[in-house]
A and B are shown apart, each in its own frame.
Chain A
Amino acid sequence: DSGVTQTPKHLITATGQRVTLRCSPRSGDLSVYWYQQSLDQGLQFLIQYYNGEERAKGNILERFSAQQFPDLHSELNLSSLELGDSALYFCASSAGLAGPETQYFGPGTRLLVL
């Protein structure tokens, strides 16, 4: 158990819908990262937050957005869903700027868009 929690574990929805994925980082970690694992694109970085602020962005679609709240949990919002958004979405956390830099991954949320 990495200490990173993600909910829900599975999500099945229809095209055009909007979903929210939730992540709670390890206790004390300030940085949260979101990654997408799909069959054709592999594991790709989406976005990072540090202590509530966006810190880095990857190839995140405009239909996707995220935020980190004062209690440090993070949410990834996916809207106008398409079939190609079906993937495993991981959240990872690390201590942040001053601490150990290893990222620990949550169990992932498996999204299926029908």
Chain B
Amino acid sequence: AQTVTQSQPEMSVQEAETVTLSCTYDTSENNYYLFWYKQPPSRQMILVIRQEAYKQQNATENRFSVNFQKAAKSFSLKISDSQLGDTAMYFCAFMKRRGRDDKIIFGKGTRLHILP
């Protein structure tokens, strides 16, 4: 069974700083996706970034980038130039690729506070 672990329950950083959220996962699969979802106070689940395991290049989306280390089963999220609107719960998530069982498995989340 797959598991996703986020070791930082809560973090705080000053606005404009860079912050890195950690995530490790465990799987015997070779083809899969990894995601970071953001859940602001509105509770909406918003996709931040997606990484396909077969791609060596780390995904980036504007101020958000990942450090994907497949062998180490590590998938961290870096937020550059953090903004107050980045305050949210961040979930690391795993999904098998093109399988019958393509549910998303979520970590417990990291609550991120951006301080003015």
Contacts and interface: CB of A to CB of B under 8 A. Distances in A.
A56 B104 contact: no
Nearest to B98: A101
Secondary structure at chain A's binding surface: helix, strand, loop or mixed?
A: strand
Interface of A: 2, 31, 33, 35, 42-45, 48, 55-56, 58, 88, 90, 92, 94, 97, 101-105, 107-108, 110
B105 A45 contact: yes
Contact of B45 (A31, A58, A105): A105
Contacts of B44: 2, 105, 107-108
Cβ-closest 4 pairs across A and B = A105-B45, A45-B103, A43-B106, A56-B101
Contacts, number: 55
Contacts of B33: 101-102
Secondary structure at chain B's binding surface: helix, strand, loop or mixed?
A: loop
A88 B95 CA distance: 21
B89 to A, nearest CB: 10
Interface in B71-92: 91
Contact of A56 (B46, B102, B108): B102
Contacts of A42: 106-109
A104 B47 contact: yes
B108 A102 contact: no
A109 B91 CA distance: 19
A15 to B, nearest CB: 24
